């Protein structure tokens, strides 16, 4: 038997079908609009770290860690009476005070120089061994101290380092010399980075920096002040000599003029900072470090006694 719907029922069914179709169409249109908006939404600009954090807070923390860590580690190693291998002892007999510090630094600089020449790996070298404008990567303050791109730059710095670091190791020991070298390098990189951001002639160039000049001049400054009668000779003219203090004074004057005039060939700010840091070590800095080293030795002795007692109990 056939049943015929009433006009009122047909109207209600039509109304429901129309409502469903309208709702679906509206939902699809809204979904398409949202998806297109998401696709066309511009990317937000990358967040930039404030100059206060990049130029002051992070470098200050890294410098403090470097100073405390270098003096602490070298003091702990010296307190533990760790011995050099036989080949290093034999080389020290032929070339005194070459190992463990002087030879390690020279070989590290040569290795990083060869990495630059091979271009391996470029991102790693540019990030950690090149002090970029703005000092975004803090480790580069230390890594750039071991980094050279030009052979003449490497040769000059390593020759000066080899000449002065051995005499400083003879008077202070390899541990204090290594700590002073690292401190001078980090502090000079920090000051040079700040100067490059605010110097009128340098802040527009955004030129990265590298080289061991600041750290080497720190050793030169300390050695010259601690040995007032030190004489230097020209490598090609060994018969002529002159006082080292005069050379240091002339270098400081040259770097002051270069910094004021904005000469870009050399890192004048790093040079001056290295000289000032080395002078700071001579005029009381090392005495203050000895107080810290005394505390480190006490902690090492306590740890050794605790370890011995524990081994006896076991």
Q: What amino acid positions are annotated as catalytic residues? A: 213, 271
Q: In the chain, where do the E strands start and end?
A: 231-233, 241-243
In order of 11, 136, 185, 192, 231, the CA distances from 208 in angstroms are 79, 11, 16, 10, 35
Q: State how far the Cα of 145 lies from the Cα of 219, in Å rounded to an integer.
A: 13
CB 101 within 8 A of CB 70: no
Nearest to 68 by CA among 273, 291, 302: 291
Nearest-CA neighbor of 215 among 251, 169, 184, 178?
184
- In this structure, are residues 131 and 141 in contact, taking their beta carbons and an 8 Å threshold? yes
Structural element, H or E, at residue 185: helix 174-198
Q: Are 82 and 99 in contact (CB under 8 A)?
A: no
Place of tokens 């109990």: 313
For 229, which DSSP code? T
Chain mean position to CA 199: 21
């Amino acid at each position: 038997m056939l049943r015929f719907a009433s006009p009122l029922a047909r109207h209600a069914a039509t109304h429901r079908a129309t409502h469903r179709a309208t709702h679906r169409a509206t939902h699809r249109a809204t979904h398409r609009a949202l998806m297109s908006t998401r696709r066309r939404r511009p990317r937000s600009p990358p967040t930039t770290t404030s100059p206060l954090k990049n130029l002051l807070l992070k470098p200050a923390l890294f410098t403090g860690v470097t100073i405390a860590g270098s003096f602490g580690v070298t003091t702990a190693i010296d307190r533990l009476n760790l011995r050099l291998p036989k080949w290093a002892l034999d080389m020290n007999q032929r070339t005194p005070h070459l190992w463990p510090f002087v030879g390690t630094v020279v070989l590290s600089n040569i290795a990083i120089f060869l990495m630059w020449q091979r271009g391996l790996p470029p991102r790693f070298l540019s990030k950690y061994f090149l002090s970029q404008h703005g000092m975004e990567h803090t480790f580069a303050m230390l890594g750039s101290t071991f980094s050279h791109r030009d052979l003449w730059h490497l040769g000059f710095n390593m020759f000066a380092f080899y000449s002065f670091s051995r005499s400083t190791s003879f008077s202070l020991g390899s541990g204090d010399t290594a700590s002073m070298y690292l401190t001078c390098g980090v502090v000079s990189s920090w000051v040079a980075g700040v100067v490059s951001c605010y110097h009128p002639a340098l802040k527009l160039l955004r030129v990265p920096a590298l080289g061991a000049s600041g750290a080497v001049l720190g050793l030169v400054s300390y050695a010259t002040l601690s040995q007032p009668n030190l004489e230097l000779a020209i490598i090609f003219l060994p018969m002529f000599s002159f006082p080292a203090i005069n050379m240091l004074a002339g270098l400081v004057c040259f770097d002051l003029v270069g910094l004021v005039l904005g000469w870009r060939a050399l890192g004048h700010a790093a040079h001056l900072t290295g000289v000032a840091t080395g002078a700071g070590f001579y005029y009381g800095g090392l005495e203050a470090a000895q107080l810290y080293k005394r505390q480190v030795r006490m902690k090492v002795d306590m740890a050794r006694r605790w370890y011995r007692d524990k081994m006896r109990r076991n």
